[in-house]
Amino acid sequence: MRHPTLSSGRHALLVTAVVAATALPLPAGPAAAAPTADRQQQYAAAASEYGVPTAVLLGVSYLESRWDSNAGTPSTSGGYGPMHLTDARHVTALPGRGHHDAGTEDPRGDDSRTTLAPRHTADSEPPSAALQTVDAAAALTGAAPDSLRTDANVNIRGGAALLAAYQRELGAPVGAGSDPSAWYGAVARYAGADSADAAAAFADEVFTTIGAGESRVTDDGQRVTLPARTVRPERSWLDRLGLRKLARPDGLECPRTISCEWIPAPYEAFGDGDYGNHDLSDRPARQKIEYIVIHDTEASWATTLNLVQDPTYVSWHYSLRSVDGHIAQHVRTKDVAWHAGNWYVNAKSIGLEHEGFAAQGTWYTEAMYRTSAKLVRHLALRLGIPLDRQHIIGHDNVPGTTASTVRGMHWDPGPYWDWTHYFDLLHAPRLDTGTPATGLVRIDPDYATNQPAFIGCVTPGVPCPPRGSSSVVLRTAPAADAPLVNDIALRPDGTPNTMEVSDHGARASAGQTYALAGRQGDWTAIWYLGQRAWFHNPKTAPTATWTVGVVVTPKPGRATIPVYGRAYPEQAAYPAGVPYQAISPLQYTLAAGQRYAVGAVLPGEYYRASTVDGSSPGDWTVIRGENRYVQIQFGHRIMYVNLADVQVLPSPVGAPR
| Band (90; pLDDT cuts 50, 70, 90) | low
| CA geometry: angle 105, 108, 109, nearest 5 deg | 65
Give the residue from 374, 402, 429 where a domain finishes: 429
Q: For 174, phi and psi rounded to 5 degrees?
A: -120, 145
| Total residues found in the chain within this entry | 657
Residues 31 and 82 in one domain: yes
Specify if 455 maps to a domain.
yes
Residues 384 and 459 in one domain: no
3-state SS track over 388-445: CCCCEEEHHHCCCCCHHHHHHCCCCCCCCCCHHHHHHHCCCCCCCCCCHHHCEEEECC
Give the residue from 364, 394, 429 where a domain finishes: 429
| Band (532; pLDDT cuts 50, 70, 90) | very high
According to the model, what pLDDT value does residue 631 have?
98
**Which CATH number characterizes residue 73's domain?**
1.10.530
Q: In whole angstroms, give the CA distance from residue 465 to residue 70.
A: 9
Yes or no: say if 199 and 239 are a contact pair by the CB < 8 Å rule.
no
Tens-digit pLDDT profile for residues 169-216? 999 999 999 999 999 999 999 999 999 999 999 999 999 999 999 999
| Overall domain count for the chain | 3
Tens-digit pLDDT profile for residues 585-614? 999 999 999 999 999 999 999 999 999 999
Residues 453 and 399 in one domain: no
Mean pLDDT value of segment 335-352: 98
Specify if 646 maps to a domain.
yes
| Band (6; pLDDT cuts 50, 70, 90) | very low
Residues 402 and 328 in one domain: yes
DSSP 8-state secondary structure symbol assigned to residue 531: E
Residue 441 or 23, more confident = 441
Specify if 170 maps to a domain.
yes
Which residue pairs from 137-146 have beta carbons closer than 8 angstroms and sit at least 24 positions apart in sequence? 137/85, 137/161, 137/162, 139/18, 139/21, 139/22, 140/18, 140/21, 140/22, 140/26, 140/165, 141/31, 145/87
Average pLDDT, the chain: 91
Specify if 241 maps to a domain.
no
| CA geometry: angle 296, 300, 305, nearest 5 deg | 85
Quote the domain boundaries for residue 545: 437-657
Yes or no: say if 469 and 450 are a contact pair by the CB < 8 Å rule.
yes
Partner residues linked to 509 by β-bridges: 471
Mean pLDDT value of segment 562-580: 96
pLDDT higher than 60, residue 23: no
Mean pLDDT value of segment 513-524: 97
| Those residues with Cβ within 8 angstroms of residue 323's Cβ, 6 or more apart along the chain or in another chain | 77, 79, 84, 86, 130, 131, 191, 192, 193, 301, 365, 367
Residues 402 and 475 in one domain: no
DSSP 8-state secondary structure symbol assigned to residue 289: -
pLDDT higher than 50, residue 19: no
Residues 335 and 412 in one domain: yes
| CA geometry: angle 273, 274, 280, nearest 5 deg | 95
| Band (124; pLDDT cuts 50, 70, 90) | low
According to the model, what pLDDT value does residue 33 have?
40
pLDDT higher than 60, residue 319: yes
Yes or no: say if 179 and 232 are a contact pair by the CB < 8 Å rule.
no
Stretch among 64-78, 86-100, 149-163, 282-296 having the lowest mean pLDDT: 86-100
Specify if 591 maps to a domain.
yes
pLDDT higher than 60, residue 3: no
How far from chain centre, in Å, is Cα 21? 36
3-state SS track over 170-197: HCCCCCCCCCHHHHHHHHHHHCCCCEHH
Q: Please name the helix (run of DSSP H) or strand (run of DSSP E) that holds residue 505, with its range, or none.
A: none
Nearest to 562, CA basis, from 525, 597, 527, 530: 530
Share of the chain above pLDDT 90, in %: 82
Pick left, alpha or beta for residue 630 (phi over 0 → left; psi -120 to 50 → alpha; otherwise beta).
Answer: beta
pLDDT higher than 60, residue 5: no
Stretch among 158-167, 356-365, 377-386 having the lowest mean pLDDT: 356-365
**How distant, in Å, are the alpha carbons of 126, 291, 548 from that of 431?**
48, 20, 7
Residues 287 and 219 in one domain: no
According to the model, what pLDDT value does residue 4 have?
34
Tens-digit pLDDT profile for residues 127-144? 565 678 999 999 999 999
**Which CATH number characterizes residue 325's domain?**
3.40.80.10
Residue 76 or 408, more confident = 408
Specify if 414 maps to a domain.
yes
Yes or no: say if 202 and 187 are a contact pair by the CB < 8 Å rule.
yes
Question: 10 Å Cβ neighbour count for 446?
Answer: 12
| Band (82; pLDDT cuts 50, 70, 90) | very high
Give the residue from 387, 413, 429 where a domain finishes: 429
Q: What is the CA radius of gyration of the chain?
A: 26
| Those residues with Cβ within 8 angstroms of residue 274's Cβ, 6 or more apart along the chain or in another chain | 114
Yes or no: say if 517 and 527 are a contact pair by the CB < 8 Å rule.
yes
Q: In whole angstroms, give the CA distance from residue 118 to residue 296.
A: 17
Q: In whole angstroms, give the CA distance from residue 651 to residue 649.
A: 6
Yes or no: say if 563 and 94 are a contact pair by the CB < 8 Å rule.
no
Helix, strand, coil percentages for the chain (3-state, nearest 5): 30, 20, 50
Residues 216 and 322 in one domain: no
According to the model, what pLDDT value does residue 114 have?
86
Residues 397 and 501 in one domain: no
Residues 449 and 412 in one domain: no
Burial class of residue 177 (count of CB atoms within 10 Å of its CB; 0-12, 13-18, 19+): exposed
Specify if 5 maps to a domain.
no
Q: In whole angstroms, give the CA distance from residue 354 to residue 294.
A: 8
Mean pLDDT value of segment 294-318: 93
- Exposure on the CB side of residue 612, measured as CA atoms within 13 A: 13
Yes or no: say if 62 and 120 are a contact pair by the CB < 8 Å rule.
no
Specify if 114 maps to a domain.
no
According to the model, what pLDDT value does residue 567 have?
98
Residues 516 and 566 in one domain: yes
pLDDT higher than 50, residue 221: yes
Q: In whole angstroms, give the CA distance from residue 73 to residue 365.
A: 12
pTM of the model: 0.93
Burial class of residue 41 (count of CB atoms within 10 Å of its CB; 0-12, 13-18, 19+): middle
Residues 558 and 473 in one domain: yes
Q: In whole angstroms, give the CA distance from residue 280 to residue 277.
A: 10
Q: At how many degrees (to 10) do helices 54-65 and 39-50 cross? A: 120
